[in-house]
């Protein structure tokens, strides 16, 4: 699948560092959710909140019987949205879980904070 090649390129490209690849993947996911939200809002005449909810529920494969596409165009879009969006969403979520499990998310946060000039401080426990 071309998704793996896209993310593999982002991960091994020497110019693009690890935090750039992660932020790029999150950006792609946000764009996909945004596209779904806008489409369902205008095509199904749902509110933005309902459209966002349906987009996220669809991409995470949770599913819901509260909202469902009714028109032919919405049904076809949903099929393509699922075929394209679900693999990308799962890849990003699995990658995020892997980073948390390896403790690399903290290192990634430190890299981002170093870039913006802020200091990372541990939370005070009560």
Helices assigned H by DSSP within 44-103: 48-59, 72-102
What pLDDT was estimated at residue 15? 44
Domains in the chain, ordered, with CATH?
A: 2-10+18-116 (1.10.287.70)
Could you report how far apart the first and last alpha carbons of the chain are, in Å? 48
What pLDDT was estimated at residue 34? 96
pLDDT in tens, 65-108: 788 889 999 999 999 999 999 998 888 888 877 776 766 666 77
């Amino acid at each position: 699948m071309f998704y793996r090649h896209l993310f593999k390129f982002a991960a091994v490209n020497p110019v693009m560092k690890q935090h750039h690849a992660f932020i790029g993947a999150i950006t792609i996911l946000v764009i996909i959710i945004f596209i779904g939200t806008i489409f369902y809002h205008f095509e199904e005449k749902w509110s933005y909140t309902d459209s966002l909810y349906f987009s996220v529920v669809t991409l995470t494969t949770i599913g819901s019987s509260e909202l469902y596409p009714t028109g032919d165009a919405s049904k076809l879009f949903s099929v393509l949205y699922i075929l394209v969006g679900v693999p990308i969403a799962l890849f990003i979520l699995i990658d995020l879980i892997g980073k948390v499990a390896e403790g690399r998310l903290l290192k990634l946060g430190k890299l981002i904070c170093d870039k913006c000039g802020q200091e990372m401080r541990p939370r005070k426990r009560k």
